[in-house]
A and B are shown apart, each in its own frame.
Chain A
Amino acid sequence: MDLRTQKKIVTVLRYAILIPVTVILLFPIYWMFTTSLKPPEEWTPTPTNPRIIPTRITLDNYVFLFAPFGVMETFAQFRETIHMPLANSLILSGSATVLALIIGTCAAYAMSRYKAGGEFAPFQLLMFRMFPPIAIIVPIMILYSALKWLDTAHGMIVFYTVVNMPFVIWLMKSFFDDIPKDIDEAAMLDGCSPPQVFFKVILPLVKPGIAVTFLFIFIMCWSDFLGALVLTYRYWFTLPIALSKYQGLFGYLYGPMAATGVIAAVPCMVIGIIIQKYLVRGFTFGAVKR
């Protein structure tokens, strides 16, 4: 068989595999999206119609989440809205990310240039990730209950900061490592003090790295489930927790359920698409670079 037919076969095979796979992969997301836009009659499939494609689209489900009203209110004792968890997620993720970024970037620079913390510091941080969160949560819980930090903003922010530190350091260190040390030395020869080298010379160079790390850690904070589950209960629970909490409350209200899911998932999806290029670096702690 010659090269030309070989190429054609490969092309056919490729699309034959990719298209079904993509459909299967995207189906759950698609379904959740469309269900969140469906009116109540269409929420569940009937024997004759799997209702994969909605016939009517409405934003009622979303509105419902923000202010329960009308017919649906009589279906469920649903008194809570989505304002609180949404705001909480935003506030907590945002602040923790910023804080972790500040502390972590400084530390990462020190590790990158001066091997601060020892040769194995990066490896030690990896070990941190190895422990099941539940094992870490217990002592934190003990500490927090003593400090009366449970269900507080500062408690959660500190928690998220600490937990994501390894990621920040790994990511930022890999970005710093990408910049040759010659630049540091050139700057110092030009008369800069070490702090100036860091703040005025190197930091601007890693700006894209900082942006990527910010988005990545934001996703990590936003996705946290166990932490918020244990450490919050009434005032500061986040969107993922809301999902779990409202499971029972919603009962069979698939529409609003789907809408909640969409709200919880969309920000991270969008961010994820944006930082696609850096995902490999992030997930492998900078060990593998593309």
Chain B
Amino acid sequence: MGSIYAMIAVALTLSIGVINFLNFSIPGVFMVSAFVVWIVMQLTGSWLFAFLLALLVGGCLALLVERFTWSWLNNVDPFVPLVSSMAFLMLFENWALTMWGSDLKTLPSISAADVRIAGTVISLPQLAALLISISLAVALRFVLTQTPVGRALRTISEDKEVASILGINVNRTVRILFVVSALCAALAGILFSVSYRQVHPFMGEIIGLRGISAMVIGGMGNVWGAIIGGILIGLGEVAAINVFGADFVDIVIYGTLLLILTVKPEGLFGAPVSGRGRV
């Protein structure tokens, strides 16, 4: 489960890190991709097609969100894109709710194989999720540091205007960022639907919002931080269930988030939050 949170956290941290935008639609994308997998499985039973379509839909949604939250709103009060992204979340959730109702939908199992590691049993999909999320982090790290696109992204995060002066096509790069971030969320959605075999219109809220906690704990803007944050939240969940009981998980997780925000808002690996401004 931690790896699912990790991927969502990565998706979120990417847009926060580069363009300082907390994209609330990401939990929505997560949910929609999972739904797409379910729908395709209902209709065709082809896992491959389901995965591809889910990724495609995720990418398209990203472009849609980008169009309406970022493209047209360049020098406005920074909360406006945030609010728009929240509206998108509401849009996705309620659209799924109206189209398919509020009950839990189940998916067939992709593989019944289990793997035994160090005394715990992990299903193959869950193991795949873990491996995929780690490779994702490695891949992203590579892209951010080695490729021109990655360097462009890092420049934009420093200073958008300097980036455009340097010849970087800011708009196109930001669009790529949105798509990559949504694909991470879509991937998380796919993996979740496969591993846990259930989807629900509000899973974005329940699971995706925990991804926000993971992102903050790991440090906003830091990809490795997001991964580690996700894993910590996943472990924390399990620990909380064992210690306090399943009902208290949310309290523990969000209580921790609250604590971190007030005490050490930069999380584990983030940049220190600037204090009072200069006059």
Do A and B form a real pair? no
| Interface residues of A, Cβ cutoff 8 Å to B | none
